[in-house]
Chain A
Amino acid sequence: MTSDLDVRLDTEPIATIADRVVLEAEISRLPDPRGTILRLAFCEGQSYPQIAERLDLPLGTVKSHARRALLHLRTRLKEMTSWPT
């Protein structure tokens, strides 16, 4: 399915790049353990049970951190870049 968002990203690579820079910096600003959880999930592609075991946190807590971090990143992207509202 092609959304408006996909079209925008195809036609505006600079916006995508800027979004990625912003996202990268935002992830680096997330407080721990939230930042670590997201980096492990995004960059290392680890599963939630793996992350939970590695950080010695309950699985539900890890998942909840990831969800809230994602919503936070969306808010920041909307505030800081051309991300559509």
Chain B
Amino acid sequence: MNVAQAAQEIGGKIVIAAEQAAAREVRGGYASDLLSDAMANAVKGDLWVTMQKHVNIVAVASLNELAAIVLVNGREPEQATVDRAREERIPIVCTPRQAFDVIGILYGLGVRGRRMD
């Protein structure tokens, strides 16, 4: 499943880098609202589910080569975030659903967390 398909499944709209969205494969998922935690544990190709909307989320997604950022609860990225995500070509998906449901839907479709302990 690619990011565009995942966005559709969770009722989200791709607000940044829609062109990249179709091309990026979703290999797994990670959920966290602490950036330091996401940096340490989200891996390349993960879909990152979060409610954080400030510009630093783009650095994390870029650093860890994540598939996309999913913003839940109807939250929208701040302007600085939008600008940076465009620059870095990181897809951001916005959904009105809450994280619990988003993750449930994706898990049901076979997306898994891949963090090794």
Does chain A bind chain B?
no
Question: Which residues from chain B sit less than 8 Å from chain A, CB to CB?
Answer: none
